[in-house]
Amino acid sequence: MNDKPSVLFVCVHNAGRSQMAAGWLRHLAGDTVEVRSAGSAPAGRVNPAAVEAMREVGIDITGQTPRLLRYETAESSDVIVTMGCGDACPVFPGKRYEDWKLEDPAGKGVDSVRPIRDEIRTRVEQLLAELRATT
């Protein structure tokens, strides 16, 4: 990895889990990690319950837009974290992959999204600690 590793978070809609993970990593890592997120079938907007859950912890993800997963983005990422994107996630030799089994927040209220948000934070903190140990 170079001095500034890049992490790509991928889920189906790029509207909940991956946006919360990207928000946490931006918040915790600052400009030391390039943060990317995408979806295999992106939604039209970020999940409002995810936005509210993140706002509660002081992280604003309202300016984010769900994006389509592009081959080039995955290929140029150092770490690819999948969260239920299925077979749509490309696999590249030599990349670090993690598959986080997380409940999908789609259609859930903020009360149900909070535990997902907190689980994502724990996983992002662990990932960041591992990245810092290797750079």
35 is catalytic: no
Does 89 qualify as catalytic in the annotation?
yes
Q: Any idea what the Cα angle at residue 69 is, between residues 66 and 71, rounded to 5°?
A: 155
Say which of 85, 113, 120, 131 is annotated catalytic: 85
Alpha helical stretches, state H, the chain: 17-29, 48-56, 71-75, 110-134
Does residue 96 carry a catalytic annotation? no
Catalytic, out of 10, 49, 89, 128:
89
Q: Which of 10, 11, 21, 81 is catalytic?
A: 11
Question: Is there a contact between 75 and 47 (Cβ–Cβ < 8 Å)?
Answer: no
The catalytic site residues sit at 11, 85, 89
